[in-house]
């Protein structure tokens, strides 16, 4: 359930992402995370997915950070707030500032409304229909990656259906997935179970859940999780 009130219930990374954003290595078209600080954002600047090239991450493997985030009217501590940058995108920027990774933004072919209630209603329809909302700029391949960070908000206690579109579009066999969420109160929701089902053969590693309202204050928790998962060393 959506949080109607409490109803619901790159190193440094980003170097690569930076490069991507700067428009360098725009291979096949994409969008990538702007590195760095919470105020940085992921920018979609081409119609094709653009992936950046990074050095191996802290655990020696290549890391992809795939993020879906929605700006606009959102839930905030029982009320509503307008977000110029979605919470999950802020979190992705903070992670990208700490590790070496390539970043990819999952943009819907049909954008979600800025209106919170309209988005809740659309999400209910998509969940009930077990829909696979189309991605505007799908990544051609994740073959080069050993670890994939699947980063989204929680919608009705699970990841938005477009994350399933992404998850089912690729072969995750032998790859490690870390679910990452921002949320109002549902934590990781059912993401671990859902990604295990959508990505057969993947290893589901420890997830990270951050309350959307607190994302900008969560730097220590993020760093601690990155070290536990060996995405950040030293």
Ligand X SMILES: Cc1cc2nc3c(=O)[nH]c(=O)nc-3n(C[C@H](O)[C@H](O)[C@H](O)COP(=O)(O)O)c2cc1C
Q: Which parts of this chain interact with ligand X (CB under 6 A)?
A: 1-3, 8, 69-70, 74-75, 83, 86-89, 116, 119-120, 123, 153-157, 182-186, 212
CB-nearer residue toward ligand X: 58 or 86: 86
C-beta of 115: minimal distance to ligand X in Å?
10
**What sign has the CA pseudo-torsion 23, 212, 83, 36?**
negative
Structure tokens at 66: 């795939």
Residues in the chain: 234
Mapped onto helix, strand or coil, the DSSP state of residue 135 is strand
Determine contact, residues 42/137, Cβ cutoff 8 Å: no
CB-nearer residue toward ligand X: 72 or 140: 72
C-beta of 152: minimal distance to ligand X in Å?
7
C-beta of 187: minimal distance to ligand X in Å?
7
Determine contact, residues 191/178, Cβ cutoff 8 Å: no
CB-nearer residue toward ligand X: 2 or 58: 2
CB-nearer residue toward ligand X: 175 or 183: 183
CB-nearer residue toward ligand X: 58 or 212: 212
Alpha carbon distance 194, 140 (integer Å): 22
C-beta of 117: minimal distance to ligand X in Å?
9
DSSP 58-104: TTSS-EEEEEE---EEEEETTEEEEESS-HHHHHHHHHHTTS--EEE
C-beta of 234: minimal distance to ligand X in Å?
29
């Amino acid at each position: 359930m959506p949080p109607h009130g409490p109803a619901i219930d790159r190193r440094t990374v980003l170097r690569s992402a930076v490069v991507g954003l700067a428009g360098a290595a725009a291979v096949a078209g994409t969008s990538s995370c702007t590195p760095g600080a919470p105020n940085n954002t992921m920018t979609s600047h081409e119609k094709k997915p653009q992936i950046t090239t990074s050095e191996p991450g802290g655990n020696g493997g290549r890391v992809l950070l795939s993020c879906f985030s929605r700006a606009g009217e959102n839930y905030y501590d029982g009320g509503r707030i307008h977000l110029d940058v979605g919470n999950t995108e802020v979190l992705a920027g903070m992670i990208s500032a700490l590790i070496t990774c390539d970043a990819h933004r999952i943009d819907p072919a049909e954008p979600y409304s800025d209106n919170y209630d309209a988005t809740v209603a659309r999400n209910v329809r998509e969940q009930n229909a077990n829909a696979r909302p189309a991605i505007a700029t799908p990544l051609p391949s994740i073959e080069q990656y050993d670890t994939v960070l699947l980063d989204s908000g929680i919608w009705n206690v699970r990841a938005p259906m477009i994350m399933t579109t992404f998850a089912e579009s690729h072969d995750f066999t032998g790859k490690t997935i870390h679910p990452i969420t921002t949320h109002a109160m549902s934590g990781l929701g059912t993401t671990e179970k859902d990604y295990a089902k959508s990505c057969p053969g993947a290893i589901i590693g420890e997830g990270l859940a951050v309350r959307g309202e607190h994302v900008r204050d969560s730097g220590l928790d993020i760093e601690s999780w990155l070290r536990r998962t060996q995405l950040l060393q030293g």
